[in-house]
Each structure stands twice: as structure tokens, then as C-alpha cells.
Amino acid sequence: MYSNCVWCHIALLVAFLTGFILESSVGHECKRKCEVGRPMVCEYNFTVENYFTLSRACHSCPFEEADCFRPHCISTNGLKKNVLAVNREIPGPAIEVCVGDTVRVWVRNRMEDGSATSLHWHGLRQRNSNIMDGASRLTQCDVAPGHDFRYRISFEFLHGKFDLF
């Protein structure tokens, strides 16, 4: 049985025609030492958009290595290509919470190519909230271009495919 004081690092998959994105983050207030009986409501904002690797944000990357670490620079393998990004990052922000926390994720679809999207939470049990599972056209309608959707997930217990620290 898992303790209530366990970190949950959730791998997010963006359900989109071309694939998925895994998320990672820094400095969120919910990334903390877990304490029994002290749950939090954790808010996240994810902007999903078409983006380019080696965009102007990268300046002289890959020729100047330091430029590859600039904010919003996605260098990947050094080739220019169109990608699907969350918060202009690949991987994007992680969600790290404690058992008992409630997570609210605002997904803003800003894809200019007219694509709809959703977030599917692999391995998380959606007890009484299957509409929040994010399985595109199965448990929820897609988030249309230019629209927003708020996911609300309660972490009552650990279950499924995510890393435990």
C-alpha cells in the first residue's frame, strides 16, 4: 500500500493526430513535501499550440550552444520542423501533487491549423469523473480551436502508470 506522502509525477499525453508530448515543470507551489491531511487545490494552465523548433526564440542555436537554452527555444535534434507544444515546451510542465490533492488544469487550444485536442491522463482512475479522462471522442468532446476546457481531477489514491518518488 502506498503512503499519503508520495510524489506523483504524471506523464501527460496530448491526444492529437500526430502524437504526444510528455510534460515537465519547475517551481509550482504544489511541488512540496506531502503531509497527511493537508491537501491542496493545484491549478495549472496549459496552452496547446503549433510551434516550430529552432524558432526566432533560439537566436543562433544550434551554432551557439547557450542560445539553445533560451526560454521558448525548442532545439530537438537541430532540424527545423513544426511541432505540437504545450506552453512552448517539449517536454512541457509536469504535474506533481500529493495524495488528496485536487488538480485543475486549464487547457487552451491555440492551434492555428484548426486542430482540436484533449489531454488524456494515462493510468489515473477517474472515479465518478470519467468525462475528465480526456480520451478524445470517447469520454469527452475535443477542445475546439480557440476554446478552453478545465479538467478537474481528485487524487484520492495512487493507481496506474506514473512514476513514484
Collapse the DSSP code of 74 into the 3-class scheme (helix H, G, I; strand E, B; otherwise coil) and give the result: coil
Q: Which domains, ranges and CATH numbers included, belong to the chain? A: 8-164 (2.60.40.420)
Q: Got the DSSP string for 98-118?
A: -TT-EEEEEEEE--TT---BE
9 sits in the region (left: phi over 0; alpha: psi -120 to 50; else beta) called: beta
Phi, psi of 64 (to 5 degrees): -115, 105
Share of the chain above pLDDT 90, in %: 45
What are 69-115's pLDDT values in tens digits?
999 999 888 889 999 999 998 887 888 888 889 999 999 999 999 99
Please name which of 91, 101, 71, 70 lies closest in space to residue 8, comparing C-alpha atoms. 101
pTM: 0.73
